[in-house]
Amino acid sequence: MKINTFKDPIQVHRAVAKEIIEAIQQRPNLVLGLSTGSTPLGTYAELVKDHQENGTDYGQVITFNLDEYEGLDPNDPKSYRHFMNQHLFGHLNINQKNTHVPLGTGDIEKECRDYEDRIKSAEGIDIQLLGIGINGHIGFNEPGTSFDTYTHAAELSEDTILANSKFFESPNQVPTRAITMGIKSILQAKRIFLIALGLSKAQVIKGMVSGPVSESLPASVLQNHADVTLFLNEEAASLL
Ligand code: GLP
């Protein structure tokens, strides 16, 4: 695991954005795995700024988001599809048809199978961007999730519901289930960038980097991947 530590979040976001922009310049039809939550927002703002100022071309870029809440329509302002349109896709010259977010409504089992097929048809993910939950979840793969999982329906833990309630009016409005790419789907990405910011992530970052590889801390599985880069600010790296 390569660990890049920066003083401030803005430096973290600039470093991640720079890597993504360079990858698009080298491969205009890059397949990019994306994540939600508050952490990648600054990175998305940097990508938008770069697109506006330097015209980086997203015309052929393909994206796959990690997850979506079950039961939320794509037009629902709390859905991850809406989040991505609002913070990233709507500001780039990306073809909406090339942006994939699991559909949280309808036949969930079929959507899980189809999502994996779509990733396969795109010949896999080149760079997967990840955040991390304070309990070590990646995507919505909560502690205890088998390392053998592909895209599947998942039950959210109470910790996660509480943490994600910052995007809702109250915790009881947070959906309790989601569709998420599985651990195996994530590990198939050629490169993985994980961003973590703030003291609240310091403990889990320490466990992920130096603790045992265990399903009780899902992100620890990244120790088994050949090309993972962590982008941390000093607070998130403070226990390393
Ligand atoms: C959600 C997402 C994760 C994300 C996590 C952390 O649960 N499913 O992909 O990493 O939130 O969120 P934040 O960046 O707001 O701490």
Residue-wise pLDDT for 43-78, tens only, equals: 999 999 999 999 999 999 999 999 999 999 999 999
CB 153 within 8 A of CB 109: yes
pLDDT, tens digit, 9 for 90 and up, residues 118-163: 999 999 999 999 999 999 999 999 999 999 999 999 999 999 999 9
Ligand 1: which atom is nearest the Cα of residue 178?
Answer: 8
pTM (2 d.p.): 0.97
Q: For residues 223 and 87, give the distance between their C-alpha atoms in angstroms, rounded to a whole number.
A: 30
Q: For residues 107 and 173, give the distance between their C-alpha atoms in angstroms, rounded to a whole number.
A: 22
**Confidence (pLDDT) at 81:** 98
For residue 146, how far is its CA from the centre of ligand 1 (angstroms)? 19
Within 36-173, strands assigned E span 62-65, 67-69, 99-100, 127-130, 152-155
pLDDT, tens digit, 9 for 90 and up, residues 191-212: 999 999 999 999 999 999 999 9
**Confidence (pLDDT) at 95:** 98
Pocket of ligand 1 (CB under 6 A): 35-39, 66-67, 131-133, 139-140, 160, 164
How crowded is the C-beta side of 229, counted as CA atoms within 13 Å?
14
**Confidence (pLDDT) at 121:** 97
